[in-house]
């Protein structure tokens, strides 16, 4: 199996999303050798009108409406990555499954396939592999005229546990797994779940950009302006705050550790944090998202970092990207025991079985921190780089797919 072939991928996350996705980290690593064509998750007409005044729509407007300037090479990405924008699609998730849904689904599929055929012609793509990064809604099986060396699907979450995605995603994901040469799952639980659909399902967890996050432990970084007036110990969280977060636990943390600051870096979705009164607590700070390059400076000044996820069927299938980033930064981590994958880090992560244990482990994690523990955390993170994940990827797909 050639490793220097082109890569065409379609991804649920767009390249300029507030939170960098595992798919983008992987293609950055691929781009060191391969030409990568990153077909972004299409904007529906609902998306277009909802976000029409935002830069994400305005910068893509001619591509979305007129199929012009559909290729871009953002300077913040490696030169080998070409971002590809499709035309606007029809919003159909609200429809019941059946004839009407399938008719509109075929229209949307052809919008995406048209762009893939066009990029193959425009860039004279010959040998390539095709990867679908957790976006099963548009193409479940490639048509005969598009012939990759391998077709790969990546599953990143339990699609059945989110109401919006479950409506059609669960069925469509099963279909795409059955048609793919290989399916890679980011957690052990997902791997078990998807193996019932295909014999070619493999565990392929998230990694971390070690070079970026190690700066928190190896360099003296300027203190972010948002932290300069804080003279208390800081319990930090980096990432999106949303339906996976345990807001009752977070309130307990803020209440018990009233002598510390609970500090969030990342976008906040929904109103659950307000429903529990987290936003009104004097020692809780939300600053919104930051660029990934800014995160090490925040991590350097955090005394402890947390992964406060709920323990349920959804989180059971999560391998959190942030764990390896935290470890690379050398920080003491306290996490809830939400999945088998987080427990696999128990030698370098304080894994709490319940809320009370979580709350008390924070003081323990801070008190026990030392250079030896920092070095051990960084050593574990270095085993989980994106380079290592790409090497594992090629080893997996170099095999011949097993027959269904």
Domain identity same for 166 and 232: no
Residue 26: per-residue pLDDT = 95
Are 96 and 225 in a shared domain? no
Q: Residue 46: inside a domain, yes or no?
A: yes
Say whether both 215 and 194 belong to one domain. no
The range of the structural domain enclosing residue 143 comes to 6-206+386-397
Q: Could you tell me the CATH number of the domain that includes residue 141?
A: 3.40.50.11010
Instruction: Quick: pLDDT tens for 189-242.
Output: 999 999 999 999 999 999 989 999 999 999 999 999 999 999 999 999 999 999
What is the average pLDDT across 152-173?
92
Residues 74 and 199 in one domain: yes
Residue 1 domain flag:
no
Q: How many other C-beta atoms lie within 10 A of the C-beta of residue 3? A: 14
Mean pLDDT confidence for 340-364: 96
Do 45 and 184 lie in one domain? The reply is: yes
Does the pLDDT at position 277 exceed 90? yes
* % residues pLDDT > 90 (the chain): 92
Is position 94 within any domain?
A: yes
Q: What is the CATH number of the domain that holds 297?
A: 3.40.50.2000
pLDDT of residue 171: 95
pLDDT > 90? residue 321:
no
Domain co-membership, 160 together with 70: yes
199 and 275 together in one domain: no
pLDDT for res 1 = 73
d(CA 64, CA 92): 18
Residues 335 and 365 in one domain: yes
- What is the per-residue pLDDT for 381? 95
260 in Cβ contact with 302 (< 8 Å)? no
Question: Per the domain annotation, does 367 fall within a domain?
Answer: yes
Assess whether pLDDT exceeds 80 at residue 63.
yes
Diameter over CA atoms, the chain: 64
Q: Are residues 355 and 299 in the same domain?
A: yes
Give yes or no: residues 103 and 236 share one domain.
no
pLDDT band of residue 154 (cuts 50, 70, 90) is very high
The model's confidence at residue 253, banded by pLDDT at 50, 70 and 90, is very high
Query: Does 368 have pLDDT greater than 90?
Result: yes
In a domain, 403, yes or no: no
| Cα separation, 231 vs 261, whole angstroms | 9
Predicted confidence at residue 17, as pLDDT, reads 85
Instruction: Judge residue 264's burial from the number of C-beta atoms within 10 Å of its C-beta, 0-12 exposed, 13-18 middle, 19 or more buried.
Output: buried
pLDDT of residue 370: 97
Q: Judge whether 289 and 205 are in contact, CB under 8 Å.
A: no
pTM: 0.91
Averaged pLDDT for residues 293-316: 96
- 196 and 232 assigned to the same domain: no
Residue range 42-58: mean pLDDT, rounded: 95
Number of folded domains that form the chain: 2
Does one domain contain both 153 and 258?
A: no
* pLDDT score for 2: 78
Give alpha helix (H) positions in 123-271: 163-179, 188-194, 210-213, 215-218, 247-256
How confident is the prediction for the chain on average, in pLDDT? 95
């Amino acid at each position: 199996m050639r490793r220097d072939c082109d890569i065409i991928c379609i991804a649920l996350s767009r390249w300029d999303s507030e939170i960098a996705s595992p798919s983008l980290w992987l293609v950055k690593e691929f781009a060191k050798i391969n030409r990568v064509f990153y077909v972004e998750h299409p904007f529906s007409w609902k998306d277009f009108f909802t976000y029409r005044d935002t830069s994400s729509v305005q910068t893509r407007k001619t591509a979305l409406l007129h199929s012009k300037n559909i290729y871009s090479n953002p300077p913040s990405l490696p030169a080998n990555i070409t971002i590809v924008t499709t035309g606007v699609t029809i919003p159909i998730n609200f429809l019941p499954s059946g004839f009407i849904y399938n008719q509109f689904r075929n229209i949307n599929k052809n919008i995406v396939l048209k762009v893939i055929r066009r990029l193959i012609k425009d860039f004279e793509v010959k040998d390539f592999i095709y990867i679908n990064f957790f976006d099963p809604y548009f193409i479940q099986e490639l048509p005969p005229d598009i012939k990759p060396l391998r077709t790969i699907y990546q599953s990143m979450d339990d699609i059945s546990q989110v109401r919006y995605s479950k409506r059609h995603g669960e069925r469509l994901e099963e279909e795409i797994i059955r048609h793919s040469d290989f399916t890679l799952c980011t957690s052990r639980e997902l791997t078990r779940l998807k193996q019932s659909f295909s014999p070619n399902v493999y565990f392929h967890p998230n990694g971390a950009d070690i070079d970026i996050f190690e700066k928190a432990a190896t360099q003296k970084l300027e203190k972010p302006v948002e932290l300069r007036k804080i003279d208390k110990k800081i319990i930090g969280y980096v990432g999106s705050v949303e339906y996976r977060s345990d807001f009752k636990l977070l309130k307990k943390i803020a209440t018990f550790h009233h002598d510390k600051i609970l500090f969030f870096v990342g976008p906040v979705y929904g109103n659950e944090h307000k429903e529990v009164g987290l936003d009104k607590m004097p020692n809780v700070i939300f600053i919104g998202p930051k660029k990934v390059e800014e995160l090490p400076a925040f991590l350097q000044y955090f005394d402890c970092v947390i992964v406060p996820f709920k323990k349920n069927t959804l989180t059971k299938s999560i391998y959190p990207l942030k764990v390896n980033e935290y470890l690379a930064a050398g920080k003491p981590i306290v996490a809830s025991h939400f999945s088998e994958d987080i427990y696999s880090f128990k030698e370098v992560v304080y894994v709490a079985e319940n809320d009370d244990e979580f709350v008390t482990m924070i003081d323990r994690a801070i008190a026990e921190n030392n250079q030896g523990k920092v070095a051990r955390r960084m050593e574990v993170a270095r085993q989980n780089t994106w380079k290592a994940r790409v090497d594992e990827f090629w080893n997996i797909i170099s095999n011949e797919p097993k027959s269904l």
